[in-house]
Amino acid sequence: MGQSEQEPSSPSDPRLPPGQRVQRGWPALHYGPVPRFKPLTWDLQVFGATALAEKHSWDFEGFNALPRTTVRADLHCVTRFSVLDSDWTGVSAALLLDLVPPDRDVTHVMVWAEYGYSANLRLADFAAPDTLLATHRNGETITAEHGFPVRLVVPRLYAWKGPKWVRAVEYMRADRRGFWEERGYHNRADPWREQRYSHQEEPGDGPLR
């Protein structure tokens, strides 16, 4: 993890969710080692309850040929730091949904990453205009420790919902907890409601355990 500094901010700063502080720099937090990128075998898959009941995949060259978009958005870590005003560039999750439409009964997605890491999202959160399969931040390629070649960025949720080293998106007709959700983190992860831990969940916030 690189060194970084906390920057003082006003509690009334409208960009900050409750309990967060502004972070200068971008700490690298993750579970397990940084995977080795293998461009000849890397692919990104979409599977599960697709409209045509078929799996679709792109190799590294094919994924990089997809149209790109840039959004300015903040990143809020559940450990209470926030990185503000980053320009994220990548493939819009909405474009992925257009290219590989989900079945009409799909309500959630599971985003899979290297080593079997996963994060579940409501379909509406995945389809939001600012949700990206990001490859660049502030004009620079994301480094390996930050998720190269692809990380999911979901600005409306805590950052654990945006896995690094993404490899697949699974369409689901029912919710299912991901890696951290099975280990005590909140199923929905809305930073504006401070949905940090599973003991805060209300009826309807997640699947039955």
The string of pLDDT tens digits covering residues 186-206 is 999 999 999 999 999 999 999
Give the C-alpha separation, 159 to 91, whole Å. 18
Residues 6+ apart with CB under 8 A from 165: 35, 113, 114, 115, 117, 147, 148, 149, 150, 151
> Token pair of 149, please?
């070649």
User: What does 126-161 look like in DSSP terms, one character per residue?
Assistant: HTSTT-EEEEEETTEEPPGGGTTT-EEE-TTS-GGG
Share of the chain above pLDDT 70, in %: 92
Residue with tokens 């502030």: 138
Predicted local confidence at residue 28, as pLDDT: 73
**Pick from 35, 28, 29, 1: which is nearest to 115 by CA?**
35
Predicted local confidence at residue 12, as pLDDT: 64
Which helix (H) or strand (E) segment holds residue 120: the answer is strand 118-122
The string of pLDDT tens digits covering residues 20-75 is 999 886 777 667 789 999 999 999 999 999 999 999 999 999 999 999 999 999 99
Q: Give the distance from CA 55 to its chain's centroid.
A: 21
Backbone torsions φ then ψ of 84, nearest 5 degrees? -100, 150
pLDDT of 145 over the 50 cut: yes
pTM comes to: 0.90
Q: How many CA atoms lie within 13 A of 169 on its CB side?
A: 31
**Pick from 192, 187, 183, 190: which is nearest to 205 by CA?**
187
Residues 6+ apart with CB under 8 A from 116: 179
Give the C-alpha separation, 114 to 137, whole Å. 21
Domains of the chain, start order: 18-23+43-200 (3.90.420.10)
Q: What single letter denotes the amino acid at residue 117?
A: Y
Predicted local confidence at residue 7, as pLDDT: 45
